[in-house]
Amino acid sequence: MTLENVPSPFTNDEPWAADAPGGAAAATPNWFADFLNDRATRKPSAHTMKAYRQDFTAVADLLTSGDPAGVALIDITKNNMRAAFAGYASTHEPASIRRCWSTWNVLCDFLYTAELIPANPMPFVGRPKAAKTLPRSLPQPAVTALLDVVEADHQSTRRTDWPQRDLALMLTGLLAGLRADELRRADVGDIRRSTDGGAVLHVRGKGSKDRAVPIEAELLSVIEDYLDSRASRLPATLKSSTGKGLSRWAANAALFVGRDGQRITRGTIQSRVRRAFRLAGPDAQPVRGALVHGLRHTYATELANSEVSVYTLMKLLGHESMATSQRYVVGAARETRTAAAQNPLYGVMRDRSHQPEKLDGDSHQ
């Protein structure tokens, strides 16, 4: 079968850049290249495209006894796929098996629709059922311990430690519910001030589903403190040498950057959050299997405990289905703006800065 090199959709400054040694894309059959092109029209994230390649290669390797580039359409049969997935399951966790199964199910649907295979064999291939458990969140003492660890870095002389940025990163996850990739892709111009001292954060969400998340003045202040520290560290990247906070930066400038001034990578985000958990010790244990995503779980759980509606939580989290948001929710409806302001973790920030907590009757002026 004719093979071709499919151009990689990843750039070299991202942690998922190289699927093959040296950053070159591995050789794949034409029909898999066609599948990738079809999926690309749906604007998936680079992370999703990488997963398609990884899952294809892993199973194709088992189908061909070590020659994934040589996999043929006639290899895709019910018995062959069952045997391949049995081998794959012996070395992978249930979540990885489910994801790989999903990749091959979508691929086989594509091949069947294109009349390249007689049927999709994946419905006859078993996969682990997803456990129906509620997302785990961090208790408030754990959040406090994490913030204490980050703030202690103000005494550090290591260039790799950047407490203002790390604090802004973690609090944006905790108080706005952003995923790791959403934190990475955020721009300074995505934050628009509101008349009450807070702001609205435009989030480029998963699956090209954008959303607007209100943030309070306390979080905005932390983000602007970080941007001012960034101006001192990286003055060459400023749009304006005057002013403070958001106004000094171009709208398309990355909101979070590494110490080199370039847009932060997923690896750096994971590394900084992991370090904070490690230094916090037993007082703050990460959510298993959800290091950065555990911050988002905490955001959602705190709002659910404040009795927001399923619909409101779905809007704030950018979920496609209410069923996903339903896992967090235990109450009745509130307006989106009010719901975001109710997050009890703002109380943690107020305690730390000795600011009075807003009363129910206070106006936002």
Q: What is the pLDDT of residues 91-133, one digit of tens each?
A: 998 889 999 999 999 999 999 999 999 999 999 999 988 766 5
Domains held by the chain: number: 2
**Mean pLDDT across the stretch 296-325?**
80
Residue-wise pLDDT tens digits, 321-333:
766 666 555 433 3
Q: How do residues 233-283 score in pLDDT, each as one tens digit?
A: 999 888 887 888 899 999 999 999 999 999 999 999 999 999 999 988 887
Task: Give percent of the chain with pLDDT exceeding 70.
Answer: 82
Amino acid at 324: T
Residue bearing the bigger pLDDT, 154 or 22: 154
Mean predicted confidence (pLDDT) in 202-222: 90
> Is residue 360 assigned to a domain?
no
In a domain, 362, yes or no: no
pLDDT reading at 138 higher than 80? yes
State residue 27's pLDDT score.
Answer: 75
Tokens of 331: 């109450």
* Whole-number pLDDT of residue 133: 59
CATH number of the domain to which 78 belongs: 1.10.150.130
Question: Considering 95, 124, 153, which residue would you say is the last residue of a domain?
Answer: 124
Match 């602007």 to its residue by tokens.
224
Task: Answer whether residue 339 shows pLDDT above 90.
Answer: no
Same domain, 93 and 189: no
**Residue 242: CATH number of its domain:** 1.10.443.10
pLDDT(230) > 60? yes
Mean pLDDT of 35-55: 88
**164 belongs to a structural domain:** yes
Same domain, 152 and 201: yes
**Same domain membership, residue 112 and residue 88:** yes
Q: Could you tell me if residue 337 is inside a domain?
A: yes
Listed range (21-30, 73-82, 235-244, 303-312) with the worst mean pLDDT: 21-30
Does the pLDDT of residue 15 top 60, yes or no? no
Hey, is 220 helix, strand or coil? helix
Sign of the Cα torsion 66, 72, 73, 79 reads negative
Q: In this structure, are 84 and 175 located in the same domain? A: no
DSSP sequence for 228-245: HHHHHH-GGG-S-SSS-G
pLDDT at 240: 83
The CA distance from 106 to 44, in Å, is: 14
- Predicted local confidence at residue 344, as pLDDT: 76
pLDDT over 80 (residue 201): yes
Would you say residue 359 lies in a domain? no
* CA 107 to mean position of chain CA atoms: 24
Instruction: With 0.75 as the threshold, say if the pTM is over it.
Output: no
Which of the listed residues 96, 124, 152 is the one where a domain comes to its end? Answer: 124
Higher pLDDT pick, 316 / 254: 254
Which one of 84, 99, 124 terminates a domain?
Answer: 124
Whether residues 156 and 274 fall in one domain: yes
Q: Are residues 112 and 159 in the same domain?
A: no
- C-alpha to C-alpha distance for 345 and 347, rounded to whole angstroms: 5
What residues make up the domain containing 348? 140-353
Same domain? 145 vs 117: no
Please give the full DSSP string across 48-113, using - where no structure is assigned.
HHHHHHHHHHHHHHHHTTS-GGG--GGG--HHHHHHHHHHHHTTS-HHHHHHHHHHHHHHHHHHHH
- Are 153 and 117 part of one and the same domain? no
149 within some domain: yes
Amino acid making up residue 275? R
Same domain, 195 and 318: yes
Question: Do residue 97 and residue 169 come from a single domain?
Answer: no
Are residues 270 and 179 located together in one domain of the fold?
A: yes
Establish if 340 belongs to a structural domain: yes
Helix 163-176 vs helix 293-305: crossing angle, to nearest 10: 50
Query: For 161-189, what is each residue's pLDDT tens digit?
Result: 999 999 999 999 999 999 999 999 999 99
pLDDT band at 4 (very low <50, low <70, confident <90, very high): very low
Q: Is residue 363 part of a domain?
A: no
Domain match, 115 and 198 both: no
**Mean of the per-residue pLDDT values of the chain:** 82
